[in-house]
Structure 1
Amino acid sequence: METLNYRFEQGSRRLAERAQLVGVVSSGNLEVLIEPAALDGACAIEIKTAAVGFGAIWQAVMRDFQQRWQLADVSISINDMGATPAVVSLRLDQAVETMLGGGA
């Protein structure tokens, strides 16, 4: 297992005052817990992954996600069992959209 941490400063979009869990941890999938947090406008992401050595890819996916959503005062925890970058992006978008009231 590998743990990766990313922090993006100066976001502009705050989410609902409740946590949201999407996805499941199983072979080739992941779960995302997204929740409000007092982070001085930042978005903090912690990833626990079974796929060791893919930090550069995770960083690119997280950077792209934050550029799309510009989250502020949000903490995201990801438990990964080998999901592809497309599945990671899908689950992250699903979590944000759920918090914004766009469904599950």
Structure 2
Amino acid sequence: MKKNTIVLSCSNSDVSKSLNYDLATKIAKLGSFDFINLADYNVDHISSDTVEKVPAKISELNEKLLPYEKMIFVTPEINGYMPGFAKNILDW
């Protein structure tokens, strides 16, 4: 059975409690959603040299996300785009 929704957070700073992190945790609590902090899944950048071996952290994240129908991404905005860290995780 599919779970309803999960909130995924990505901060673009090294501050332990960023505004994005605070917003994501509040959304998760208000909606009784599960929460994942993408900072826990720091991996090398995807490239043609690395794409053949999926990092263990990405495999772990994929397994956690499979049961969910919907995902809410909370990321900083940088010139209209998400930060490279979040994009890298999605690319994997």
TM-score, with length taken from structure 2: 0.28
**Structure 1 or 2: larger helix share?**
2
Q: Select the structure with the greater relative contact order (CA < 8 A; seq sep ≥ 6).
A: 2
**Structure 1 or 2: larger strand share?**
1
TM-score, with length taken from structure 1: 0.26
